Amino acid sequence: MTTTFLVIHGPNLNALGKRETDVYGNNTLDDINETISTFASKNNLELTFFQSNHEGEIVDTIHNIGSTVDGIIINPAAFTHTSVAIRDAIASTDTPTIEVHLSNIYSREEFRHHSYCAPVCLGQVSGLGINSYLAAIQGLLLHLTSH
Ligand code: DQA
């Protein structure tokens, strides 16, 4: 059976490539998805992608798809710092979940230093750009093979 991970991108990540390029770089979301898909397929993994600017849609996706996959990688973007609803959705699933950020949220404004989601995730990767996603994929794989 193929191992499948769900990759959730939160609000404004659809604007990557034109949004604050000094912080987030020039890659578009499609570029990121393509790079991580290629990496995943080399590891016999399948990725399913979801992006939304709407909190409830992310909650619904965690409920509806989250339990059918082997792992979740989520960049909750701004909802990281505000959303108890997304935190509770992550907490409600048994699917191992890793939070990722392109930028290092701890070297930025203070309001970004707190994540509602991280405490209910397996772990968090922050600040490695696109490599945050690749590290999360590897982390989930290592977690699954050791459990
Ligand atoms: C982000 C960091 C968040 O603070 C911010 O709101 C984002 C992107 C990142 O990937 O670095 O939209 O999650």
The protein residue with its alpha carbon nearest to ligand 1, atom 1, reads 77
Q: Choose the residue to mutate in 19, 20, 101 for probing ligand 1, maximizing ligand atoms within 8 Å of C-beta.
A: 101
Would you call 8 helix, strand, or coil by DSSP?
Answer: strand
Domain ranges across the chain: 8-146
The whole-number pLDDT of residue 40 equals: 96
- Does residue 128's CB lie within 6 angstroms of at least one atom of ligand 1? no
Residue 59 has pLDDT above 80, yes or no: yes
Instruction: Tell me the two tokens of residue 18.
Output: 């034109």
- Does residue 112's CB lie within 6 angstroms of at least one atom of ligand 1? yes
What's the number of CA atoms in the CB half-sphere (13 Å) around residue 101?
23
CA of 2 to the centre of ligand 1 (A): 30
Kindly report, residue by residue over 61-90, the tens digit of the pLDDT.
999 998 999 999 999 999 999 999 999 999
Contacts of 16 (CB under 8 A, 6+ apart): 24, 25, 27, 28, 29, 32, 102
Q: What is the mean pLDDT of the chain?
A: 97
The whole-number pLDDT of residue 125 equals: 98
Q: Can you tell me which atom of ligand 1 is nearest the CA of 11?
A: 12
Structure-token match 């701890």, residue found: 106
**pTM assigned to the model:** 0.97
Which CATH number is 8-146's, of 3.40.50.9100, 3.30.70.120, 3.20.140.10, 3.40.50.300? 3.40.50.9100
Would you call 145 helix, strand, or coil by DSSP?
Answer: helix
What single string gives the DSSP state of each residue in 77-124? GGGGGT-HHHHHHHHH--S-EEEEESS-GGGS-GGGS--SSGGGSSEE
CA of 68 to the centre of ligand 1 (A): 26
Residue 147 has pLDDT above 90, yes or no: no
